[in-house]
Structure 1
């Protein structure tokens, strides 16, 4: 009897439960879920970049939210970016990709000070985490201002502390256990520099050549970029193109800058992530350039103002010093030539004479002896006998005004001895003839 009553009571309790279950299933709705079908516990994995570019474009990365359950849930992501206290407004940017809108949405960052650090904080909208988890796409940048309105001072480096917290979509549904992550992200910049610069340049002379190198070691892309070389505003700066031709660059000057800036790639150029560009440059200085040291200084400007060159986020690198020297003076006298005796003016050697003292050369006009005779071979012509020399008529004697001074004819060289001898013999013959004429006349008279 007792066994029968217990069975009846068990049947009474079972029939309502079965009927209720059948009714719910037949209606197509399940209002309760077994405990093992709940979401969670969730997990967070952040794939933050190691480096972002200072004043460069944003770098994309993902954060994975894991969900091992078979039911989806919704969360929000809260972020804090900690940087130096001198970080200017609009220096940081953070965006997330929204599945609801199908595009990128900015995270509205609000700044607050914490000690000697500045914290920019903000969060996403609702993020749906299906069963199995999801990736949230983010991109972080350090633009240092808006396009064409970059900050001219301040900084964010050398690193950022990037913190992420996962919270429930509803304030009364916290995520348990709490999910937080902190990553340190370095901030590095684009650089330019010069290499192979000669130590001296000649004023008014040939140009000097060297390389200008622009390096972007960061994963950020750079736009609105100015790759500038500063030097004396009177210099001539040229860049060699890919086809080997040289292009003269226009100097850009401002009131505050005595030197001129030369844009090696033009204004608003760009540099891809992880890239390196080399330009061959040559510089010449005018002839009236003051002698002494002059500088070659490379700088990079990002987000310059449209009408204000050299105003933007500025990154300069060590340059080079060139000493401008005067050209070498030109020689004022011609150097003595060397070569054959004819070219130096040295007289040609006289051929040696034979045993008879004759060198085979013809006598000079007027009966002159050969000009070159050895000292021991000089032979004077014998004087003609007085009887054989005809007496000069008395009327043929030269007038006093026609006689040479001192009774001698001018002579040079070896002829002077023979001329004097002939003149003396002539005078002797003239005197003898006059004496004979006088004696003959006297005899006739007597």
Structure 2
């Protein structure tokens, strides 16, 4: 199953994180509290860290206020560190600050592993804080890799902890302050909604929605909003003008399902955004009966030449039962006209006997004898007809919605919330192949 099993194992770790994230945001007791502040000697420090950032998304801006009661300007540095889950990949976190010239500067970061966490830390350059204090602008992000080189293994956990320390000049006594803030790591996700439970091979397309949700304050770039379907299926999306347009398939691994980019490669999603694509899928006439999967996944920072390699977030898909097309009814044979009888051969010769003139109606001559009908043969189905397999798949009831969640083989204890799973291993998603039951 290649990377699929590893991805599923990873998802089991992230599912509780989603639930805990919701609880933290709902409660707000810790995350929604007033900004932390402290004072020591001439310095004061207030940290206004964001409540949440988006994993694999862009940075979120915040401020830290440095107070200065000294009688002169002070050159202050901020030492910043982030605690995250053990196994956090390189380039997963970012910190920036606005320097005295108004330009954003990246804080060089180094990572180390402690007993129960990964600590990523760095120090800003000197920031001139005038008498009375200064509000310093900063940004924190969890890019999960670099542009077009998203991390394919490891994660941050459902929260990270930011520690900020302000240090003044050595000649100023007691000017070291530290404040700590907890930040939730949220995630973007897509999902399929309203998928019919059955489809006929070679029949009318099935229609449904692909929804993309970004509940986080991070903007996303280098984004792939992907629907995986049978590689022989025809996928179309409705445009803003109401017209249906085909979506080209992308192949990652031979013999695996194809991926269909709903918004093209390298798309974007604004902070707090929600989008819907109307989609229809047509399955080919020669597709054997059985179940097929429609699986939604989001990829961030995919490689420029390799699809589906990057930070990977997949949600529960839908299962569709493929039905064989109905066999056409046999053509009716020509029956003799009522009240007439075929002419019988004359004994001893090949001439046909003729009925008396009184028996012939004025408008028509005697009917010609109909050819003996051949035995009616079964019409071969589109999939090649009868096969040696005696077991037939149970057909889903027409009009029912496709199974989701655990019914689709995605082992997740989640209801109503898209379970997120992070791509692992080599980073190339190998989706569960469609199990075809041939009838």
Q: Distance in 2 between matches of 1:49 and 1:90?
A: 20
Question: TM-score normalised to the size of structure 1?
Answer: 0.64
Query: Which residue matches 1:251?
Result: 249
Q: Distance in 2 between matches of 1:168 and 1:131?
A: 13
Q: Distance in 2 between matches of 1:188 and 1:230?
A: 24
The structure showing larger relative contact order (alpha-carbon pairs under 8 Å, at least 6 residues apart) is 2
Q: Which one of 180, 185, 200 corresponds to residue 198 of structure 2?
A: 200
- The offset of 1:329, in angstroms, is 3.0
Aligned residues of 1:251 and 1:261 also touching (Cα < 8 A): yes
Q: CA RMSD in A?
A: 2.3
Q: Distance in 1 between matches of 2:61 and 2:42?
A: 27
- The offset of 1:66, in angstroms, is 1.8
Query: Which residue matches 1:124?
Result: 124
Query: Which residue matches 2:84?
Result: 83
Query: Which residue matches 2:266?
Result: 268
Determine which structure has more spread, i.e. the larger CA radius of gyration. Answer: 1
- The offset of 1:175, in angstroms, is 3.4
Residues 386-405 of structure 1: pairs in structure 2 closer than 5 A: none
The structure that is helix-richer by fraction is 1
Residues 118-157 of structure 1: pairs in structure 2 closer than 5 A: 118-157=118-157
Q: Distance in 2 between matches of 1:313 and 1:209?
A: 29
Residues 72-111 of structure 1: pairs in structure 2 closer than 5 A: 72-99=73-100, 101-111=101-111
**CA-to-aligned-CA distance 1:115-151 (integer Å, 9 cap, x gap):** 0211011111111111221111100011111100111
Partner-residue secondary structure (3-state), 1:217: coil
Aligned residues of 1:167 and 1:174 also touching (Cα < 8 A): no
Q: Distance in 2 between matches of 1:219 and 1:197?
A: 30
Q: Distance in 2 between matches of 1:151 and 1:257?
A: 25
Query: Which residue matches 2:276?
Result: 278
Unmatched segments (≥5 aa) in structure 2: 1-39, 340-355, 360-439
Q: Which one of 182, 185, 189 corresponds to residue 184 of structure 1?
A: 182
Q: Which one of 311, 321, 327 corresponds to residue 313 of structure 1?
A: 311
Partner-residue secondary structure (3-state), 1:258: coil
Aligned residues of 1:167 and 1:175 also touching (Cα < 8 A): no
Aligned residues of 1:207 and 1:284 also touching (Cα < 8 A): yes
Query: Which residue matches 2:10?
Result: none
Q: Distance in 2 between matches of 1:134 and 1:167?
A: 14
- The offset of 1:239, in angstroms, is 0.3
- The offset of 1:40, in angstroms, is 5.0
Partner-residue secondary structure (3-state), 1:137: strand
Query: Which residue matches 2:58?
Result: 57
Change beyond 3 A, Cα 1:75–1:175: farther
- The offset of 1:102, in angstroms, is 2.6
Aligned residues of 2:235 and 2:246 also touching (Cα < 8 A): yes
Unmatched segments (≥5 aa) in structure 1: 1-38, 335-343, 347-409, 414-446
Q: Distance in 2 between matches of 1:160 and 1:257?
A: 39
Change beyond 3 A, Cα 1:315–1:174: farther
**Residue 157 of structure 2 corresponds to residue 162 of structure 1:** no
Aligned residues of 1:166 and 1:175 also touching (Cα < 8 A): no
Q: Distance in 1 between matches of 2:53 and 2:148?
A: 20
Q: How many residues align?
A: 301
- The offset of 1:180, in angstroms, is 1.1
Partner-residue secondary structure (3-state), 1:162: strand
Aligned residues of 1:211 and 1:279 also touching (Cα < 8 A): yes
Change beyond 3 A, Cα 1:257–1:135: farther
- The offset of 1:260, in angstroms, is 0.4
**CA-to-aligned-CA distance 1:397-442 (integer Å, 9 cap, x gap):** xxxxxxxxxxxxx9x99xxxxxxxxxxxxxxxxxxxxxxxxxxxxx
Change beyond 3 A, Cα 1:287–1:256: closer
Q: Distance in 1 between matches of 2:144 and 2:215?
A: 18
Partner-residue secondary structure (3-state), 1:228: strand
Query: Which residue matches 2:402?
Result: none
Change beyond 3 A, Cα 1:165–1:329: same
Change beyond 3 A, Cα 1:75–1:331: same
Aligned residues of 1:40 and 1:67 also touching (Cα < 8 A): no
Q: Distance in 2 between matches of 1:273 and 1:151?
A: 21
Aligned residues of 2:41 and 2:173 also touching (Cα < 8 A): no
Question: TM-score normalised to the size of structure 2?
Answer: 0.65
Q: Distance in 1 between matches of 2:253 and 2:157?
A: 31
Query: Which residue matches 1:71?
Result: 72
